[in-house]
Structures are given as C-alpha cells and as structure tokens.
C-alpha cells in the first residue's frame, strides 16, 4: 500500500503521516524531513537546498527524485509519500520508480485547509536545532523561546516567516493544480478536511483506508 499525502505547507499532513506510521507501521517519507537532515549536516546538498527553500522556491525535480529513489529501493513496507510528488512530472516519475518494485500509488489524500489558516499555523511555529518543533499557539515550550528538551534558543525557520509562507503557497498552487486533476482522473483522489481536531482528521484517513481495502 502506497499513499500520497498532499496539501499546503502547514496543512497538517506531516503530523497525520507520523500518526499513521506509528499506528499502522507505514514508512513515512517526507522530502522536507530528508532535506532538513541534509541542512543540519551542512552537506553540499543541504546548503543548496537551504538557499532554495529560504527564497520560497521548490527544490528541483532532479534533486528530489534522486533522494526518493534511494529510499524506495530499500523499502518493503506500506509507505506514505508526504508532500511528494508536487508536479505531474514527479507523479509520473514516482509511478515508474514504484513499477520497478511491483508497487503503485493506491490513494492520494489532499489535506484541505484555508490559506489564511496555513499562514497563521506556520508563523506560530518555532524550531530547535535539536529537531524539536513547537507551536506557540497550541503547544508552546514551558519557557518562552527555550526548548524543553535541550534548553537551546528556539528560532523561526526562514520558510515559516509570513512573507515566505505566502510565496510558498502561491508556488504550490501553481504547480499542484495540474497534479490534482491528474489524480482525480485516476479515481484515487480523496479530500481530507484538515481544519478539524487531529483525531477527527485521522478518522477521515482511516475511512479512506477502508475504502481502498486496507
């Protein structure tokens, strides 16, 4: 079983992917997480990605596909592709990759949420170099501006700043509109109302899994 989770940055798809991976033992592939690992390492790829993300642009297909194929080649369990693909070209490339391992995309879940809510959610996000992330509105640290886990100072990621978030949304819409149509035609596209409490969102995901026979 292979699922694709789509939605604006901050729509909650990553949170739900983590919950599903814990409860159903899915592998969770997030290009964002993989790139952040490279950035934290200070690798050549990480520095390149950091520059691209900070400007509100998307990482090139060539870089994304290279990272994804490396992961796919070693996976045997059910998988969630979190935020990937973002274009029809990437979707076709993913299908070709999966076909090599006798796999396919079984369902695409689009996490629908108002754009203004996305900006609000991401602008409230605070990150720590240790990897922990907080939301000052819903899950703030015990001490303002300080990580509960390691005591380091929290910061706002460049791609969480309001002006960059708005730019990311515009870029995302331009690129993914054709992708949504592509998956609708295939009959595997499902809308998740992502402005609900977390457990209600997860219940919608489980309903989709039942429909596709999981």
User: From the candidates 86, 103, 121, 126, which is the catalytic residue?
Assistant: 86
User: From the candidates 36, 50, 126, 168, which is the catalytic residue?
Assistant: 168
* Cα–Cα distance measured from residue 182 to residue 130, given in angstroms and rounded to the nearest whole number: 38
User: From the candidates 36, 50, 103, 125, which is the catalytic residue?
Assistant: 125
Return phi, psi of residue 162, to 5°: -50, -45
13 annotated active-site: yes
Residue 183 CB coordination number (10 Å)? 22
Return phi, psi of residue 52, to 5°: -65, -50
**Which is nearest to 82 in space by CA: 27, 147, 145, 162?**
27
Radius of gyration of the chain (CA): 17
DSSP 34-65: HHHHHHHHT-HHHHHHHHHHHTTPPPPHHHHH
125 annotated active-site: yes
Residue 88 half-sphere exposure, CB side, CA atoms within 13 Å? 11
The first and second tokens of residue 39, run together, are: 């950035």
Cα dist from 75 to 45, 61, 78, whole Å: 23, 21, 8
168 annotated active-site: yes
Active site residues: 13, 86, 125, 157, 168
């Amino acid at each position: 079983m292979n699922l694709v989770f789509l939605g604006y940055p901050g729509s909650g798809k990553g949170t739900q992917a983590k919950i599903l991976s814990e409860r159903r033992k899915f592998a969770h592939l997030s290009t964002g997480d993989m790139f952040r690992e490279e950035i934290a390492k200070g690798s050549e790829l990480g520095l390149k990605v950091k520059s691209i993300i900070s400007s509100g642009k998307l990482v090139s297909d060539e870089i994304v596909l290279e990272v994804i194929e490396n992961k796919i080649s070693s996976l045997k369990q059910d998988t969630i592709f979190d935020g990937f693909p973002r274009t029809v070209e990437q979707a076709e490339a993913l299908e070709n990759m999966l076909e090599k391992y006798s796999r396919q995309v079984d369902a695409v879940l689009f996490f629908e949420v108002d754009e203004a809510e996305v900006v609000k959610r991401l602008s409230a996000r605070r990150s720590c170099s240790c990897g922990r992330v907080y939301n000052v509105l819903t899950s703030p640290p015990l001490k303002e501006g300080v990580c509960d886990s390691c005591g380091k100072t929290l910061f706002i990621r460049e791609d969480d700043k309001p002006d960059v978030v708005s730019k990311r949304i515009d870029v995302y819409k331009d690129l993914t509109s054709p992708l949504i149509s592509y998956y609708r035609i295939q009959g595997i596209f499902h809308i998740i109302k992502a402005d609900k409490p977390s457990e209600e969102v997860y219940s919608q995901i489980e309903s989709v899994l039942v429909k596709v026979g999981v």
